[in-house]
Amino acid sequence: MEHIANSVEDAMAKKYGLAVGQSEPEEESYDENSLFDIALNPTGDDGSSFRMQNDPAAPYQRKNVTERKGAIDIRCTCLDVIHGLLAPDNYEDRATLIVLKFNFDSRKRARRIASAKISLQFSSEDPGNGDPEVYRIAPFESLAMVPTTSLEEKAQWADFKLGAPPFAGFQAGTELGWERTVISEITDATRIIGTMDLRGRNYGEPNGVSWTLLENETQRTGVPTVLRTAFLLKRRNDAKFRCTVKLDVNVDFRSKLERMIGGKPKDDPVLFDPDMDPTNRLEAYDILNLEAVDLERISGITLVKYYDGAVKHI
C-alpha cells in the first residue's frame, strides 16, 4: 500500500531526524449529501425497484448506493473511509475505518419511523482471501436515551354471583362486583442496539454489523433523526472487499403500522479498495495506528434538530 509506505517513511524520518520534503495534501471538501442516499417506499410503490449500479469507470467506494424517493427518506452518507494498519508495531494486521451517517426523515406529518434496522455484511471479492473481520463498532450494545416516566390508569372489574357461597340458595343469577382503578408508572426510552454479527456462516469472526433503532413507544416520538456510526475492520491482506447494505423500517401512519421493506438487496454491493488514499474528511487519522481511534468520539446520535435563528428583528 503506497500511502502506508509513505507514512512509514515519514515516521522513520521523524524518529532519526531526517528531513523529508513533502507538500501538504490538499484538503478535500466534505459534502455530507454526497454518498449513500437510501429511501424506502412501501412495497409496490413506483420507483421501489430502481437499482443503483457501480460505475464501470470508477467501481470502488462509489458514492450513491441507492436512490429511492417516497414519504419516508433514509439517507446514508459515508463520512470517511480510511485504510491502514491496526497498530504501528504489527504490519500483519491491516485495518479499515469507516464512518457512516444515517438520516431518518418523514416528509409527511402523519408519519413517523417507529423502528429501523440497519444490516451490513462484509465479504472478500475473492473468497480465497477471507472476509474482513468486524473488530470494533460504535454505538455498541444497548443504549437508552431520554428516558420518560408516565402514569397509566386502568380500570379493573371484580365480580361474584349471588348463587355462589356464602349466598347458596339464591338462583337469581345476579352479579355483584366493584370496579377499582390501578395506576401504574411506566418508564420508557428511545433505544439503539449495536451488534457484531456472523452472516452467511456460523464459524469464524464476525463479518457483519447491525444497528436497531427503537422509538420511545409510550411517547411515540419516532427513532432518532441522525445516527452516526463508526466501525473498524480487521483485514488479513490488501485484497479488495465489498459491503452489502440492507434496511428494514417500520412506519406508523395514522395509528396504522405500515411495513417498509428494504428486502433483498437490489443494488450492487459497495466495493472497497485498500490501496485507495484516506479521505480524512472529518479529521486526519493516523493510518499506522487505526486501533487508537476513539470510535465513541466520532460516532453520535441526534434525536431532533432545532433551528434557533428563525426569528429576526428588523
pLDDT tens, position by position, 115-155: 999 999 999 998 889 999 999 999 999 999 888 887 767 77
C-alpha cell at 130: 477471507
pLDDT digits (tens, 9 = 90+) for 259-282: 555 544 477 888 999 999 999 999
Say which DSSP state 127 is in: G
Of 24-28, 135-139, 246-250, 275-279, which gets the smallest average pLDDT? 24-28
Q: How confident is the model at residue 144, as a pLDDT?
A: 93
Provide Rg for the chain, Cα atoms: 27
The three-point CA angle 213-44-115 to 5° equals 10
Q: How confident is the model at residue 28 (pLDDT cuts 50, 70, 90)?
A: very low
Say if residues 174 and 162 touch (Cβ distance below 8 Å): yes
Q: How confident is the model at residue 33, as a pLDDT?
A: 35
Share of the chain above pLDDT 90, in %: 40
Of 23-27, 162-166, 232-236, which gets the smallest average pLDDT? 23-27
Select, from the ranges 103-107, 146-150, 266-270, 288-292, the one with the highest average predicted confidence (pLDDT): 288-292
The DSSP secondary structure of 44-82, one letter per residue, reads T-TTTT-----BTTB-BT-S-S----SSEEEEEEEEEEE
Say which DSSP state 123 is in: E
Q: How confident is the model at residue 143, as a pLDDT?
A: 93
Instruction: Measure the CA–CA gap between 250 and 191, rounded to whole angstroms.
Output: 15
Q: Please report, for residues 106, 109, 143, 260, the alpha-carbon distance to residue 251 in angstroms, rounded to integers and kept in the order given.
A: 9, 12, 21, 7
Residues 6+ apart with CB under 8 A from 79: 30, 32, 99, 100, 101, 228, 281, 282
Instruction: Measure the CA–CA gap between 74 and 116, rounded to whole angstroms.
Output: 10
| CA proximity to 287, closest of 79, 113, 96, 98 | 96
